[in-house]
Copies of this chain bind each other. A is one copy, B any other.
Amino acid sequence: MVTAIVNPLVQEVLDLIGIFAFALSGALLAVRKRFDAVGIAVLAEVTALGGGVFRDLVIGAVPPVAFTDIAYFTTPLVAAAVVFFWHPRLARIRRFVLLFDAVGLGVFCVAGTVKALNFGMHPLPAVALGAATAIGGGLLRDLLSGEIPALLHPRSEIYAVPALLGSALVSILAVLHLLTPITSALAALIAVVVRLLALHYGWRAPLARGTTAQ
């Protein structure tokens, strides 16, 4: 039933890079919100694993890999410890949160779409699920921090769009039988670059017709 499109080891390494990046983003936000050590660890875990746990529950891959592969669970703790002891001076934090978050976004939309396709999902829902994997952790991170999720409001640069782009590229590549470790790394890179360009140039999603920003 399950067709391995990408080498399992490559998928695990991709996943762990995304997990570490997202965990850093969660832990750094926790420091910015002045949460304690437990809050830093929980926010690192939730940001890093939330999207993947959701994906695995949806595709029926239970227990989710986050609860079976020790590396998935311990990586966010390493990121939390790094942030706890060596977090950069407060002025630099916001920039780091955004950079690591972009890396996590790119890797997760690709890894999520690949795993959904591996579990036999059709290409279109696989795009949705890949994007949900990528934005789910950050959404939970913002909710737990008491903030309206950044991806919803027009004060933040486009976030879900790069994730959808990366996921769509993976599904198109899979349909064209062109999905390889190289091409999927490229899809992730494109998503990261689009997110960073959006941050640099202030690309925002439009408001509903007739609405003005707050």
Q: Which residues of A contact B (CB under 8 A)?
A: 30-31, 33-40, 42-43, 53, 57-60, 62-64, 67-68, 70, 73, 83-87, 121-122, 124-125, 128-129, 139, 143-149, 151-154, 158-161, 204-214
Contact = CB atoms under 8 A, between A and B. Distances in A.
A62 B60 contact: yes
Contacts of A73: 124-125, 128
A125 B67 contact: yes
Contacts of A152: 30, 33, 35-36, 38-39, 42-43, 144-145
A125 B146 CA distance: 28
A43 to B, nearest CB: 7
Given A58-B53, A148-B146, A209-B87, A153 B39 contact: yes
Contacts of A87: 208-210
27 contacts: A33-B152, A33-B153, A34-B207, A34-B211, A34-B213, A34-B214, A35-B152, A36-B154, A36-B205, A36-B207, A37-B205, A37-B206, A38-B152, A39-B153, A57-B57, A58-B63, A63-B121, A63-B125, A68-B121, A70-B125, A73-B125, A73-B128, A84-B208, A87-B210, A143-B143, A145-B148, A146-B148
A122 B68 contact: yes
B36 A153 contact: yes
Given A73-B125, A125-B68, A209-B84, A151 B42 contact: yes
Nearest to A140: B143
A87 B35 CA distance: 32
